[in-house]
Structure 1
Amino acid sequence: MWKLKLPEGKDRWVFLLTVGVILCILAFPAGSKSSRMALPASRNVEEAGSASMAAGQDAAAYERELEKRVKEILRGVSGVGEVDVMIVLKSSAEKVIQVDNSTSKSVTTEKGSGTDRSVESMDQEHSTVLTGSGSGQEPVVAKEVYPEIAGIVISASGGGQPSVQAEISEAMEALFGLPANKIKVLKRVE
């Protein structure tokens, strides 16, 4: 076996740090994200990832749409001026799938020598309702629940005036059903 002579003192630590950084760089996979995700072995992981990305994109699009609508309505309010709106959601949208439930109950009574025995059994079956035919079947969505709003921050030119702050806060409480502590109105810096 060969022997490696390491430098002494401060040079030794610089050498070890350099080797460590090189090893870290070599540990990361090369190539772009799309080429790594295209591996057939990771197809299910890729599909799950794209589904969650789609849900995340849907939530982001929903946030942007709400922000745009709030911004448009507040621009028309007297004393508010130029507005920026940030809405934060607690989670993404949720789809409730239609499920068929069937329940069967049977009671068996046995009478023996001086004792009565009763056996009750209950079977429940749940199955998802599907639409379409063949391999193109999809579950039926009973309802879609939009995400709940966690909080709103509004930056307005007139946000320094207490009356404007109160009006904006009351409007957001009425519009989204949020408590006042989840709404913050700030004075916009021009």
Structure 2
Amino acid sequence: MAGELEAILSEINGAGKVEVSLSLSSDGHKTFASNRRDEKRETEESQARGIKKNSSEESRVEDLAVSSGAPVLVEERFPEVLGVLVVADGGGRAEVKERLTDATATLLNISPHRVRVMPRKGGE
């Protein structure tokens, strides 16, 4: 994700070389499909003196659903972006800083206050 951002942001006029660091809430979450089979077995035994003995056994078998040799993905939740640091050659200029902040916030669908743009050492 950071690499894609760096490539896009470095195309902004005046940005120069760009590096991005993301702070994420987690690694995300993936849910895979499964095949579940419930089994129930009941037996009744007759014993001496007319006594009947009943027993039951229940089991559940759950296997990962596979299609073409790969698990079937049902849902994927991406981690929440907590903050972004953008270091750019042109990050010291106000208009470039604003463009980088707006672009980053838009691309990640986050509030601009979660984005910090800093000038690269020796940059413009």
Q: Which amino acid aligns with 2:115?
A: I
Asked if the contact 1:129/1:140 (under 8 Å) is kept, the reply is: no
1:131 to 62, 65, 76: 65
Change (3 A) 1:75 1:130: closer
Cα 1:128–1:145 change in 2 (3 A) is farther
Instruction: State the identity as a percent.
Output: 26
Q: Secondary structure at the match of 1:184?
A: strand
- Runs of 5+ consecutive residues of structure 1 not aligned to the other structure: 1-65, 101-125, 133-137
Q: How does 1:59-98 map to 2 (within 5 A)?
A: 66-98=1-33
In structure 1, what residue type is equivalent to 2:74? A
SS of the residue corresponding to residue 142 of structure 1 reads: strand
Residue 112 of structure 2 corresponds to 180
The verdict on how the C-alpha distance between 1:167 and 1:127 changes in structure 2, with shifts beyond 3 A counting, is farther
Whether the 8 Å CA contact 2:32–2:65 is kept in 1: the answer is: no
Give the TM-score normalised by structure 1.
0.44
Aligned CA RMSD, in angstroms, stands at: 2.5
The number of equivalent residue pairs is 96
How big is the shift at 1:139?
7.1
Q: What is the one-letter code of the residue matched to 2:25?
A: K
Q: Higher Cα Rg: structure 1 or 2? A: 1
Deviation of 1:69 (Å): 1.0
Please give the per-residue CA displacement for 1:124-157, whole angstroms capped at 9, x wherever unaligned. Answer: xx9856436xxxxx97531121222111100111
Runs of 4+ in 1 over 6 A off after TM superposition: none
**What does 1:1-190 correspond to in 2, within 5 Å?**
66-98=1-33, 130-131=64-65, 140-190=72-122
Structure 2: 5+ residue stretches without partners: 36-59
Corresponding position of 1:58: none
Task: Please list the CA deviations of residues 71-125 of structure 1 after superposition, one character each: whole Å capped at 9, or x if unmatched.
Answer: 111222111111111112110120124478xxxxxxxxxxxxxxxxxxxxxxxxx
Larger relative contact order, structure 1 or 2 (CA cutoff 8 Å, min sep 6): 2
